[in-house]
Structures are given as structure tokens and as C-alpha cells.
Amino acid sequence: MAPHSTTDNDGDDVMRDTDEMQVDEKPDAPAVKSEPVAVKDELEHMFDDEDDDLMIDDEVNDFKNGFGKTSAAPISDILSASPSDPEVMLQFYARLFPWRQLFRWLNHAEIPSTDFANREFAFTLHNEAYLRYQCYPTFETLRRDVLKLNPSRFEIGPVYSARPRDRKQVPKGSFKPLEKELVFDIDLTDYDEIRTCCSKTSICIKCWQFVTMAIKVIDVALRDDFGFQHIMWVYSGRRGAHAWVCDRKARKLDDGKRRAIAAYLEVVRGSAQSGKKVNLDRPLHPHIQRSRGILERDFEKNILEDQDPFRTEEQSKRLLQLLPDQQFRGALREKWSSTTERSSSDKWRDIDDVAKTGVAKDLKTRQLLEHKQDIILEYTYPRLDAEVSKHLNHLLKSPFVVHPGTGKVCVPIDPAKAEDFNPDDVPTVLQLLKEIDQWKNPVKGEGDDTAAPVRVPDIDKTSLKPYHDFFGRFVQRLLNAERQAAELKPKVEQGVKIKKEEDMEF
């Protein structure tokens, strides 16, 4: 295997002392908190030396950080800071990050299991140190460590055969990755040669359409062809999107099968030297045929109009390269050089118009049609970073993490409404903290004379709330499927408990 920067970066030397070890030895605390008072009593008994952790809950309003120090800093003091300011990040992870849902998502059940405990987390700290092989029995311990280390971001790796921290203790060779979600990474930098509006790290709504098209094509393929149901799309915080396929069967795929899926979905192949990058057998495979149907509708607007990639003489050379028949190309070249600069839409129409004149005797209608189809695909079909998908042990940034460069939260994207998603609308961490700060308790209705004032969770005060809820519903569907698969007949009480909890969450 090639040494790959993400997967082989061994951060052992920066491992620090782990006081969680004590916690680890204790019986796992129930993650379900259906009756707060009773459970709290029980928990307090269990963890009487660490009662700070008890306050950890998505719903808890008062902010305390992981090591017991109550944070007194009012949010308004730090609003002028940069989004990657450690204090800003800390506030976000303490008050707004959906720890419990993240736990349920990765644990696949309410009761803590090895699915979560043997899962690798990796932290990038503000000093660029990279800590790999971190793991936690419960979300409380994970949350506490994040608040203590205050990483600039963290990533999620596979579930291993043993706890990642213990990898040196278990017999050599028996520590290996067992499962991880099948993941996909779409990054706009892979489109640099065909996007004209932006380059490098900058993006706009025009080039975001490449990502939108990618989500539409990949999502339907994963669902209809492979039969996956639990696919979560996440904005990567700057210029791309990730997909997490969470179905049990997807999680258990070995590298060979991941490679098969990645290759099945890959259409645009080759480097700058390869010439035409889409070369497909005919008739088209049903997956390509379906994708073509989706993408052809978008080609006119997203590509010809918005990207206008063939306007200049230099640009239209590229288009000519992709077309068949020397005579035909010559005729087009002549037309485009004699008239003043024509738009890409005009040039695209010219192709058929010139073909109809019969200037190229050997040009076959079918041949031209197929080349045009290939060109449309070359300019619209998803460009995946296949290496990310191929390896079970590849790490990927966690959902809801704050992108340190933009301050934007990596929020989920609803694939059914992919076209409505605009990266400019994604809340930044500073904006969210401001929303908490400016939030006022709405005036209570008449006759509302219940004694204590209702505590409103921080998340409910912000525009992050709909994303939270979306994630929560996704996780709940996944857990329901897991439970059905395990053929566990939930007891009546358990059913009630879960119902109650849902009410609390959403």
C-alpha cells in the first residue's frame, strides 16, 4: 500500500496521558436518559468523583466545559474573533455540537457497544499536531476530550477489532479495521480544468452546481442500483460534499468491494494528457443512461450558460479536440474564427448546424451523437476522489465539525432537495453564537402558569436547528433499521422510552 498522507500519518508520539482509563473500567453509563432525575441519581452514584460529566447533554443550557471550569466569557466578547479562534470553537463544541446524535449514529443502538468504543477518532490540533487512534466508550468521554484538546477539526475512522488505544497491547496482526461507512468525497478542485467561475479554494453558487449534479447522480445510483438506504450527504465546509453510506452491508464491505463500487461510479478518467476523458461502450450501461438523463437537463444552464467553457478561441480548441472527424472539425474551426466570439451555447448549437450542411462526408450521425453525449458527461458527470472510497481505513471529517478556514459548519444536505442547497446559506460558527446571544425568550401565552421558566436548549435558538433535526431523523431511521435487522422485539417499556426520547429531541 502506498503511504498516503491521511491514513499513514502516525501521531503516536503526541499521545497524551489518558485519564479516561478510569472511566473505561467502569460499567458503561446508560446513554438513554428517559427519566432525568432517577437516572441522574444512579449516575451520580456511579461517577461520584466526576459529576461534571453529568451535565453533558445536548439539551443542557448552562455551559460548562469538560474540566469543570464554568465558562463565564459572554459570547459577545468573542464575536469579533476569527472563526478558527480556539475560544470560538470551544463554545461551539460545548453548546451546539450534537454529541448524543453522533454517538447514536456511530453506535447503531442506544446501549454503548464496541461499534462506538472501538471506533477511531483523529484530532487535528490548533498547533497542527495530528492525534490518531483515539477512542471513547461513550459520547460523554468523547465530548470531554474534545473540549479539553479543543481540536481545530476531528475525523472519524473505522471500527477496529480492538480498542484503537490498545492496538499495541493486542497480538500483532490481530488489530485490524473491521467496518466503516462507505464514503465518497466530491471536491471542486477536481473540476478546476472545467470550471471557469472560480479556482482553488474559492467557490460560488455557479460552480456549486457541479456538486449538486454529483449528489443527484450518485445518490440515485447508490439507492436504486446498490439498494442502500441510509445515505447521509454532508457539506464539507468549503468546496465540496461527503457522502456517508451507513447501511450495515455498506459498513462491512472490504476494500475490494469498495473499489468495485468506486469504479462502477467512475466515468471521467485520465489526466490532462489523456485527451478525451469519457470513452464509453455503447449501448450505454443503465447507470450511465440514467445519469445522462439527469445531467443533460442541467448541461444547458449549468455548463453552457453559467460556466461558458468554450467562449474564447483557446477554450474552443478543447471542444474541437473532443469532436470526431477532421473535416468536420475544420469546418467548425473556420466558422468560429471568422465570426466574433460566440457564446458556448451558440457553439454547441453550431455543432449540429454545421453537421447538417453535410460538409463532412464521412461523419456519421450516430458517431457525432455519441461524441456529444461523451462531452456532456465530461463536463457534468461527478468527479469523485476515488481513493477516499476505496479504503476501509480512510478517515473522513466528522459531520457538524466547523471548517477552520471558513467557520462554516459541516451540515447535512438533504439529497431530495439538493438543488435548494446553497453553501452561502450555511451558518458560520460566529453567526450561530451570535444567534444564541441575541435570542429572547418569547412571551409566554395566557394561563401558562407552570412554575419554573422553561429552559430552551441552545440549539433551538439558532439556525443550526433544522440541520440538527434532519440529522436526528436520519439517525433514528438508521437505528430503527438496525433494530429490525437484529430482529429484536422491543419491549413495551423500551418502546415507550424511545418514543419519549424522540419527543425530547425534536
Partner 1 sequence: MQGPEALRLARKQRRGNVIGGTIKDSGLPYPTRLNFYDKPPRDEVSLEEFEQWAIDRLRVLGEIETCLFRNNTPAEIDATLKRLLDKYLPLASNHSIPENERSNPKRFAGLTAERRKDHYSHFILRLAFARSEDLRRRFTRVESILFRHRFTTDDTRERHEFMSALQLDAHAVSDSEKAQYADELKAVLAATTRTQPEKARAQFEAESYVKVEWDRVADLVESRRIFIRGGMAYVPSGALVSLVLAEFSNKLDEALIATARLLPRLDEDDRLIPILNHLSKGFSAPEYNSAAAPTTLSGEAITAAQIDSLKAHFPLCMRNLHSALRRDKHLRHFGRLQYGLFLKGLGLSIDEALVFWRQAFSKFTDEQFNKEYRYNIRHSYGLQGAGRNYSPYSCQQILMDHPPGTGDAHGCPYRHFSVDNLMMAMESQMGISGDEKSVLSGVRQDVGAKKYHLACNRVFEHLHERELKREKEAGGGVRETIVHPNEWFDRSWNLKNPGKAKERGRVKEEVKEEDTTMT
Q: Which residues of this protein are in contact with partner 1, per CB under 8 A?
A: 2-5, 8-10, 128, 190, 192-193, 224-228, 249, 253, 256-257, 259-261, 263-264, 269-276, 281-289, 383, 386-387
Catalytic residue among 53, 181, 187, 306: 187
* DSSP secondary structure letter of residue 55: G
- Residue closer to partner 1, measured from CB, 88 or 388: 388
Q: Quote the least distance from Cβ 25 to partner 1, whole Å.
A: 31
Take residue 481 and report the three cell numbers written for it. Answer: 433499521
302 neighbors 194 (Cβ within 8 angstroms) = no
85 vs 279: CA distance, rounded Å? 48
Rounded to a whole number of angstroms, the CA Rg of the chain reads 26
Catalytic residue among 53, 140, 185, 190: 185
110 neighbors 104 (Cβ within 8 angstroms) = yes
Helices (H), 322-397: 326-338, 344-356, 365-380, 386-390
Residue whose grid cell is 470560538: 88
Q: Quote the least distance from Cβ 159 to partner 1, whole Å.
A: 19
Q: Quote the least distance from Cβ 407 to partner 1, whole Å.
A: 22
Return the bridge partners of 360, or none: none
Catalytic residue among 53, 58, 110, 120: 120
Helices (H), 221-364: 248-251, 255-265, 286-298, 313-321, 326-338, 344-356
- Residue closer to partner 1, measured from CB, 48 or 128: 128
- Exposure string (b/e) for 252-273, b if CB count within 10 Å is 16 or more? ebeeeebbebbeebebbeeeee
Q: Quote the least distance from Cβ 378 to partner 1, whole Å.
A: 11
- Residue closer to partner 1, measured from CB, 53 or 190: 190
- Residue closer to partner 1, measured from CB, 36 or 270: 270
- Residue closer to partner 1, measured from CB, 228 or 467: 228
- Residue closer to partner 1, measured from CB, 172 or 356: 172
Is there a catalytic annotation at residue 128?
A: no
Q: Quote the least distance from Cβ 178 to partner 1, whole Å.
A: 14
- Residue closer to partner 1, measured from CB, 104 or 258: 258
75 neighbors 437 (Cβ within 8 angstroms) = yes
Sign of torsion, CA 163 164 166 172? Answer: positive
Q: Quote the least distance from Cβ 207 to partner 1, whole Å.
A: 15
Residue 504 backbone zone (phi > 0: left; psi -120 to 50: alpha; other: beta): alpha
- Residue closer to partner 1, measured from CB, 248 or 342: 248
Take residue 279 and report the three cell numbers written for it. Answer: 470513452
Return the bridge partners of 122, or none: 155
Helices (H), 150-267: 205-220, 248-251, 255-265
Q: How far lies 346's CA from each of 301, 336, 352, 358, 359, in Å?
A: 13, 10, 11, 19, 19
Q: Quote the least distance from Cβ 87 to partner 1, whole Å.
A: 25
Helices (H), 416-491: 429-438, 465-485
29 vs 31: CA distance, rounded Å? 6
Q: What does 469-482 look like in DSSP terms, one character per residue?
A: HHHHHHHHHHHHHH
Measure the CA dihedral 314/316/317/318, to 10°. Answer: 110
- Residue closer to partner 1, measured from CB, 261 or 430: 261
Is there a catalytic annotation at residue 120?
A: yes
Q: Quote the least distance from Cβ 488 to partner 1, whole Å.
A: 23
Take residue 157 and report the three cell numbers written for it. Answer: 475512522
Q: Quote the least distance from Cβ 275 to partner 1, whole Å.
A: 3
Query: What is the crossing angle of helices 139-149 and 99-107, to 10°?
Result: 130
Residue whose grid cell is 436526528: 472
92 vs 76: CA distance, rounded Å? 14
132 neighbors 12 (Cβ within 8 angstroms) = yes
- Residue closer to partner 1, measured from CB, 281 or 487: 281
Is there a catalytic annotation at residue 420?
A: no
Q: Quote the least distance from Cβ 257 to partner 1, whole Å.
A: 5
Catalytic sites, residue numbers: 120, 185, 187
